[in-house]
Structure 1
Amino acid sequence: MSDNEEEPFMEVHEIVTQKLGHIPVAKGDFKKLPSKVQKWVIHSVNICQPRAIYICDGSKPEADEVTHKLLERGTLTKLTKYEECYLCRTDPSDVARVESKTWITTPEKYDTVPHVREGVKGILGQWMSPHDMKKEIDERFPGCMKGRTMYVIPFSMGPIGSPLSKIGVQLTDSNYVLLCMRIMTRVSPRVFEFMGDHDFVKCLHSVGCPRPVERKVINHWPCNPDNVIIAHFPEERKVKSYGSGYGGNSLLGKKCFALRIASVIARDEGWMAEHMLIMSVTDPNGKETFIAAAFPSACGKTNLAMIQPTLPGYKVQCVGDDIAWMRFNSKGQLRGINPENGFFGVAPGTNFKTNPNAMRSFQKNSIFTNVAETADGGYFWEGLEDEIDKNMSITTWLNQEWRIGKAGTAAHPNARFTCPASQCPIMHPKWEDPEGVPISALIFGGRRPTGVPLVLESFSWEHGVMIGACVKSESTAAAEHKGKKIMHDPMAMRPFMGYNFGKYLDHWLSLKKDGRQMPKIFHVNWFRVDEHGKFLWPGFGENIRVLDWIIQRCQGKDIAVKSPIGYLPKKGSIKMEGLKDPVNWDELFSLPKHYWLDDTHESTRFLEDQVGCDVPEVIMKLLKEQEESFKKM
């Protein structure tokens, strides 16, 4: 199938002859762009050689125009059951973040990656020298947009004008990316009003399919999977992505900017850019507490951020479900914002039982990628079997006929929904407050089937950093890893580190200063199972019971006992009334000695192997003390 359908053009009204080499500006006024943006666009045009430039404004008419063209082309299918919802099926070879092809480039290697043990393959970031990266870039980007339009997308990560926000400009030849960036970030020419002398993050993206297209285009989804590269240049505040049109590979405001580049900016400016949700919990007395929590992808961040509490009198509100930017203010209080404007959530497993608020969020104005379609114009994925007619005819993400009960799966395991955060029924009124919200607790967690208790509190800020450095979880469908195995994902940032992880831990440790109100640090594990593989904790809305305990600890309540790994809840201090099934407290909070000796040793070895001499001494000291505590048991 060819890929030479017409791009969505408005009437060409300007040609900037001298600067752009007769490239037509299909929409917008190039001369109104800030001069430094003009220079970068001109530089990129000369390399990528698009046939036209389209300066985006993020407006509804713009989105309608692009959507209409993508419907005509077949890239999008309208889901007629809902208001302004669309389905996209990608090329099956372009369905996930491609971590193996994601690189950081700095002049000094160990600015990017730690000193790993000799003979060990490092997993905390990938470095490529500027010389080698230039070669890779030069083999891909020249002429990569021939026959296509270059979309110029001005966007803000965080509320426009907030002192906690940052500005980016993405250049892309994918109009699907434009539609998704409009949901996930704040796309508006207003960002230029706040640019002034400040830097902006330069984001260049191409699907890598100049016309005439040589590779067969599948599902009207141009891509170049054999030549994918996602390159980050933190010192230049720049990202270049080639070959993939999917998710975090192409929506460069997300993981690339908001975590990898922003973590470097945060280090340089003294704040935190983290893979964390932000939520608030208001107790029956009206006391509100804001919490940030870091879990590896597909481990329930969105579910927790939008939890529907089962305990009477409690109210949860969402600030963000994936990324948190946090900074101490002049009063020493940690304030956080969600830099994103939308949700890019994993669809399979999401339903009205697991996450009713997410379901209500994407009933309109949403894009669904690699989900299945029902005969009546609705979406479907694994987890929705109880919510549709069992005899309903379904078309899978691979465009094959399917019914519930038939072999195989209907949706890709990493199928996604993309929807505006403003549509979430429990978004906090202050979710766009330019000053951010006050953070009282930080939570780490992961999928740990054995050994790890439901909840624990760190002894100190330093101990909490150690706990974060030792986060592990079953692997997920968000990346290209296959099968289930326990993987290290320190701070839930393993795929998203923008610089040397040892220096990142140093940065966390350095944040503790006199006069600052340091949040308490916790670890949770909803996923512990018994000997029969059954979950020991019901999870979902019942997790409010654990959050309640965490909040009480933030308020100084004496409801904890010391253990070798941190403070555990005193027996009976978590509210259990009203649970459908009894919970085995002793098993849920047991600390098997040999398990923890092995786990502590393995965590120590991981840090020695992967971070080496860059590990802060205090982290290794705390692990040694933990090991000695278990030996004495």
Structure 2
Amino acid sequence: LGVGASVGVRSLASIPLLPPAVAEFVKGAVEECKPSGVHVVTGTPEETANILAGLEKEGMVKKLPQYDNCWLARTDPKDVARVESKTVIVTKNQRDTIPIPAGGVKSQLGSWMSESDWQKAREERFPGCMAGRTMYVIPFSMGPVGSTLSKYGVQVTDSPYVVASMGIMTRMGTPVLKKLAEGVEFVRCQHSLGRPLPLKAPLVNSWPCNPDKVLISHLPDTRQILSFGSGYGGNSLLGKKCFALRIASRIAKDEGWLAEHMLILGITNPQGVKRYVAAAFPSACGKTNLAMMKPALPGWKVECVGDDIAWMKFDSQGKLRAINPENGFFGVAPGTSNRTNPYAMATIAKNTMFTNVGETSDGGVWWEGLDPPAASVTLTDWHGKTWKPGSSTPCAHPNSRFCAPAAQCPIIDSQWESEEGVPIDAIIFGGRRPEGKVIMHDPFAMRPFFGYNFGDYLAHWLSMESRKAPTQLPKIFHVNWFRKDATTGAFLWPGFGENARVLEWIFKRCSREREDEAAKKSIIGWLPEDGTINTKGLSGKVDMGALFDVPTTFWQKETKELRAYFTQQVGGDLPAQVEAELKALENRVHNPY
């Protein structure tokens, strides 16, 4: 029997091509979940076409005739996003997962579940959960197959939608199985929609899920992920946030590297000099737009290595090298347009799975942020109901997605699949600090994705400087594209392609020969010296003074808030170096230069 064929459970032993450790994992999952058959995924185009045809037949996806091989899925309205409250890390000791918060408040830095509670939760969910369904076995690689920076996984799932999406988001199938046959370690990923056949209740939108029983659990000590009840990407494509951030951050801690929620881009100046930059932004702060930027500065070029996750490790020369462990983009659709991100629009024109976007009567897709369709075209919203502009509800769900192959991006970097990774010269941290709103702390843009105690995570970052290799540490920068005029509420900075002007300054600072080159000292670090941000050709009047204003009263409040956050959320696990930095910052904001 060849790998890729579907077999009944009784003939499972007749899949001789599964490596022993994989076979043992699959056998255990079969015994627990009781599927009616097993299909080992090969990743061939023919297999993908068959999977999509099956999904179409079941009513789970719909072909979009306006594009080449594009599909639309509409989910159950109760299954539309990551579910943080039901996403847990399971370790023996709570403090391995999260710092113990002060005063009995709830930790914002992760959710811990005890081993005994998890075992009980598993027994309430997984036994017999795949009855009547096929179990798909997906061997996959995070990163190029064979790269020293890559890691491997095997996911079992009863969702063909997951198989189709994993084929875009990861390197999947027979080449990975060959690698696993060499005996390499792999992360064991078990996923079920939690709707065994025959159904006890009808499906909504032909979308199987079990929202009342959703649980996404991670066992970092044994490198396992078990996800139940949700078909939505972030909960079911286990290579993404579950493996590439939560489990990988723990592997990275154990092995001395970094797994981060960061884009990676290459930027080339008019003289042909190229640098690579990684950047961490919380969700909805423009990561994909920056990763695929069309620079407003003539002669500058940005190329995309990845838009969401970076795995970074120092090489033998002490240079930080990064890979994008993913193979596709799983981007938020609303707000993506030819104005904000023309390259993303070009990327998603073929071979793309759209989920919960609007549909046009001429066989296309639509969402908020796109130009209104022609008058003759009618729109259907993500619920499958007729929709008209001006309706009180959105046409596309705010978290609707496109899932598209990275190789289709017109500006994909030539080194995006480099086995040794690209050399990182700078790391940018970004966020928003809106006045008058409750501050949302999202440290390193990793708050929902830490695989272990945040205090230990900080200590791990700080340890990079003292690694044995002659480390060339990248320069660190911080940006906030979202500052507003205090009186009008308008954004001070136009953003999008104009952000290239900030990257140009960062480029200069990476090449600097003296510390104050193109920069002036402030209470929060080095700011651009007046006139060093290139404003030539900048459309509209930009108040550079307001952009670089550092109000001491604001920063006094900010340091107070930071102190309270660290005390309450991190407590005794806060590294001494971070405490010292905070003290120094407090001193500067109360005694400015």
Sort the TM-score into its range (normalised by shorter chain).
over 0.9
Give 1:236-275 correspondences, 5 Å limit. Answer: 236-275=222-261
Contact kept, 8 Å, 1:527 with 1:537, in 2: the verdict is: yes
Letter in 2 for 1:629: R
State the match for 1:565 in structure 2.
524
1:540 equivalenced with 2:496 (yes/no): yes
Q: What secondary structure, in the 3-state scheme, does the structure 2 residue paired with 1:607 have?
A: helix
CA deviation vs aligned residue, 1:471-512 (integer Å, no higher than 9, x gap):
xxxxxxxxxxxxx85311000000000000000000000011
In the alignment, structure 1 residue 157 sits paired with structure 2 residue 142: yes
Q: Which residue of 2 aligns with 1:345?
A: 331
Answer yes or no: is 1:610 the counterpart of 2:569: yes
Q: Is the 8 A contact 2:4 2:40 kept in 1?
A: no
Cα deviation digits, residues 143-183 of structure 1 (max 9, x gap): 00000000000000000010000000000000000000000
- Name the structure 1 match of 2:341: 355
Q: Which runs of 5+ in 2 are unaligned?
A: none
The alignment partner of 2:32 has SS state of helix
AA aligned to 1:517 is: Q
Please give the alpha-carbon distance, in whole angstroms, between the structure 2 residues aligned to 1:592 and 1:499: 35
1:223-242 pair list within 5 angstroms: 223-242=209-228
How big is each residue's C-alpha offset from its partner over 1:205-242, in whole Å with a ceiling of 9 and x where there is no partner?
Answer: 00000111123200110000000000000010000000
> How far 1:450 sits from its partner (Å)?
4.5
Matched residue, 1:369: 355
User: Match for 2:81 among 83, 96, 99?
Assistant: 96
Structure 2 residue 16 is matched with structure 1 residue 31: yes
**In structure 2, distance between residues paired with 1:211 and 1:118:** 47
Aligned-partner Cα distance in 2 for 1:367–1:242:
22
- Mapping of residues 510-525 of structure 1, within 5 Å: 510-513=463-466, 515-525=470-480
Residue 122 (1) aligns with residue 107 (2)? yes
Secondary structure of residue in 2 paired with 1:385 = coil
- Tell whether 2:515 aligns with 1:555: no
Taking the TM superposition and a 5 Å limit, the aligned residue runs for 1:62-461 are 62-195=47-180, 196-386=182-372, 388-390=373-375, 392-450=377-435
Asked whether the 8 Å contact 1:337–1:432 carries over to 2, the reply is: yes
Q: Within the alignment, does 1:631 sit opposite 2:587 as a pair? A: no
Which secondary structure state, in structure 2, belongs to the residue aligned with residue 620 of structure 1?
helix
**Residue identity in the other structure for 2:484:** V
TM-aligned CA deviation for residue 192 of structure 1: 2.8
Runs of 4+ in 1 over 6 A off after TM superposition: none
Contact 1:450–1:528 under 8 Å retained in 2: no
Aligned residue among 11, 28, 53 for 1:43 = 28
Q: Which residue does 1:5 correspond to in 2? A: none
1:55–1:599 distance in 2 versus 1, CA, 3 Å: same
Q: Deviations over 1:392-417 (max 9, x none)?
A: 31000011111223332100000000
Q: Tell me the residue number matched to 1:575.
A: 534
| Counterpart residue type for residue 584 of structure 1 | D
**Could you tell me which residue of structure 1 aligns to residue 450 of structure 2?**
497
1:416 maps to a residue whose letter is R
SS in 2 for 1:154: strand
Rounded Cα–Cα distance in structure 2 between residues aligned with 1:50 and 1:11:
15
Write the letter of the residue equivalent to 1:534: A
Corresponding residue SS for 1:495: coil
Q: Once the two structures are superposed, what CA deviation does each residue of 1:340-369 show, in whole Å capped at 9, x if it has no partner?
A: 000000000000000000000010000000
Q: Give 1:390 deviation, angstroms.
A: 4.9
Q: Deviations over 1:39-64 (max 9, x none)?
A: 01001100000000000011110110
Which amino acid in structure 2 is aligned with residue 527 of structure 1?
F
Deviation per CA, 1:537-590: give whole Å up to 9, x if none.
000000000001011101116001111111100011000010111110111111
Secondary structure (helix, strand or coil) at the match of 1:439 reads strand
Partner residue in 2 for 1:592: 551
Q: Distance in 2 between matches of 1:315 and 1:485?
A: 37
Asked if structure 2 preserves the Cα contact closer than 8 Å seen for 1:105 and 1:232, the reply is: yes
CA distance in structure 1 between the aligned counterparts of 2:275 and 2:363, rounded to whole angstroms: 41
Cα deviation for residue 378 of structure 1 reads: 0.7
Aligned mates of 1:191, 1:411 — CA distance in 2: 36
RMSD: 1.5
For the 8 Å contact 1:282–1:289, the answer to whether it is kept is: yes
Deviation readout 1:55-74 (Å, 9 max, x if unpaired): 00111101100111111221
Distance 1:450 1:117 in 2: 27
Secondary structure in structure 1 of the residue aligned to 2:336: coil
> Percent identity between the aligned chains?
55
Q: Is the 8 A contact 2:4 2:42 kept in 1?
A: no
The answer to which of 440-449 and 269-278 deviates more is 440-449
Conserved? CA contact 1:325–1:336, under 8 Å: yes
Contact 1:294 1:445 in 2 (8 A): yes
Q: CA deviation at 1:446?
A: 1.2
- CA apart distance, 1:299: 1.2
Deviation at 1:627, TM superposition (A): 1.4
Q: Partner of 1:6 in structure 2?
A: none
Contact 2:153 2:188 in 1 (8 A): yes
The one-letter code matched in structure 1 to 2:558 is D
Q: Distance in 1 between matches of 2:5 and 2:541?
A: 67
The answer to whether the Cα contact below 8 Å between 2:139 and 2:173 also exists between their aligned partners in 1 is yes
Return the alpha-carbon distance in structure 1 between the equivalents of residues 585 and 360 of structure 2: 53
Q: C-alpha separation between the residues in 2 aligned to 1:206 and 1:262? A: 22
Structure 1 window deviating more from structure 2 (168-177 vs 590-599): it is: 590-599
Equivalent position amino acid for 1:589 in 2? F
Question: TM-score w.r.t. structure 1 length?
Answer: 0.90
Name the CA distance, whole Å, in 2 between partners of 1:340 and 1:248.
13
How far apart are the structure 2 equivalents of 1:615 and 1:248? 30
Structure 2 residue identity aligned to 1:588: L
| Partner Cα distance (1:345, 1:240) in 2 | 24
How many aligned positions are there?
Answer: 583
**Counterpart check, 1:488 vs 2:435:** no
**Counterpart Cα distance in 2 of 1:352 and 1:390:** 20
Q: CA deviation at 1:187?
A: 0.4
* Distance (whole Å) between structure 2 residues aligned to residue 11 and residue 35 of structure 1: 18
Cα distance per residue 1:421-459 (max 9 Å; x no partner): 0000000111001010000000110123359xxxxxxxx
Distance in structure 2 (CA, Å) of the matches to 1:134 and 1:181: 27
CA contact (8 A) 2:5 2:40 kept: no
Asked if the contact 2:38–2:136 (Cα under 8 Å) also holds between the matched residues in 1, the reply is yes
SS across alignment from 1:140: coil
Contact 1:106 1:112 in 2 (8 A): yes
Provide the residue aligned with 1:460 in structure 2: none
Letter in 1 for 2:370: L
Alpha-carbon distance in structure 2 between the residues aligned to 1:612 and 1:407: 45
2-side partners of 1:597 and 1:143: how far apart? 57
- Alpha-carbon contact 2:521-2:527 (below 8 Å) kept: yes
> Secondary structure of 2:377's match?
coil
SS of 2:140's equivalent in the other structure is strand
Distance in 2 (CA, whole Å) between partners of 1:349 and 1:231 is: 31
Q: Separation in 1 of the partners of 2:294 and 2:163?
A: 32
Q: Is the 8 A contact 1:148 1:210 kept in 2?
A: yes
Name stretches of at least 5 consecutive residues in structure 1 with no aligned partner. 1-8, 452-483
